[in-house]
């Protein structure tokens, strides 16, 4: 069976997106740092 999907809080989502938009991290760096798949970030 598949594992349960991870649930992210609104604060976590905002933090990650703001870091990328402000240029603090590239999308690839953010994915590595927070252990996200690229498709999760682009959604």
pLDDT of residue 4: 82
Cα angle 8-6-22, degrees, rounded to a multiple of 5: 40
pLDDT of residue 9: 93
pLDDT of residue 1: 59
Q: How do the pLDDT tens digits run along the chain, 43 residues long?
A: 567 888 889 999 999 999 999 999 999 999 999 999 998 888 8
The residue ranges of every structural domain in the chain are: 10-42
Q: Tell me the whole-structure pTM to 2 decimals.
A: 0.78
Using alpha carbons, select from 29, 27, 32 the residue that is nearest to residue 43. Answer: 27
Q: Which residue has the tokens 């598949």?
A: 2
As given in the structure block, the two tokens for residue 28 are 């690839």
**Cα 12 from Cα 6, distance rounded (Å):** 12
pLDDT of residue 2: 66
pLDDT of residue 19: 95
């Amino acid at each position: 069976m598949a594992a349960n999907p991870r649930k992210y809080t609104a604060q976590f989502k905002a933090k990650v997106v703001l870091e990328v938009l402000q240029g603090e991290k590239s999308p690839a760096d953010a994915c590595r740092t927070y252990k996200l798949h690229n498709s999760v970030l682009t959604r």
